[in-house]
């Protein structure tokens, strides 16, 4: 039997070490949930209450492979959260009505629980991600325009003043943004 060892860590090992550094080995061994942080920043705009976000995070905590949506027992979620199964069912219905959640079938391997597909929510998050990206790009462009305007003003200040009187010789300044 050949055993291969490598001194170079792979990306998964590196990520695991980062989680361990932040949370400790014991917590990491019990699972770390990941979810898009946009869910928190855009919660209100998405029409989500805190209880919806907790439910969604619970589903994401089991989502480990793209396209393979998890199945989670409503009874298990109600026990974890300390709420009734009816309350969980109501939240599922609300998320379905918003188009964020679909139950494409049941999982016979795990007590006939529903699969929970959050593709609709992920699509909504992609939309808000584009909005954030456009906002960031606009801030960058605004900063560039501001810097260009300051450079132009500094150049005007140096070149258009009469060195003997501090008076501006020509007060026409070209707009650095190119707009009239």
pTM assigned to the model: 0.67
In a domain, 86, yes or no: yes
CATH at residue 94 = 1.10.10.10
In a domain, 93, yes or no: yes
What confidence score (pLDDT) does residue 174 get?
Answer: 54
Is there a contact between 151 and 143 (Cβ–Cβ < 8 Å)? Answer: no
- Residue 85: give the domain boundaries: 22-120
In a domain, 174, yes or no: no
> How far is it, in rounded angstroms, from Cα 153 to Cα 150?
5
At 99-144, the pLDDT tens digits run 999 999 999 888 889 999 999 999 999 999 999 999 888 887 777 7
| C-beta atoms surrounding 144 within 10 Å | 12
The structural domain count of the chain equals: 1
In a domain, 8, yes or no: no
């Amino acid at each position: 039997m050949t055993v291969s060892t490598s001194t170079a860590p792979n990306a998964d090992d590196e990520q695991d070490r980062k989680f361990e550094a932040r949370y400790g080995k014991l917590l990491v061994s019990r699972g770390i949930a990941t979810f898009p942080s946009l869910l928190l920043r855009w919660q209100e705009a998405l029409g989500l209450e805190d209880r919806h976000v907790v439910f969604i995070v619970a589903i994401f905590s089991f989502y480990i492979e793209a396209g393979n949506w998890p199945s989670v027992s409503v009874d298990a979620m109600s026990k974890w959260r300390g709420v009734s199964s009816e309350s969980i069912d109501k939240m599922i219905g609300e998320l379905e009505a918003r188009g964020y959640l679909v139950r494409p079938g049941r999982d016979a391997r795990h007590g006939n629980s529903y699969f929970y597909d959050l593709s609709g929510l992920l699509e909504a998050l992609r939309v808000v991600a584009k909005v954030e990206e456009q906002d960031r790009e606009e801030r960058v462009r605004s900063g560039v325009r501001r810097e260009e305007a300051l450079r132009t003003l500094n150049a005007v200040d140096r070149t258009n003043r009469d060195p003997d009187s501090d008076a501006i010789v020509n007060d026409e300044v070209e707009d650095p943004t190119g707009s009239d």
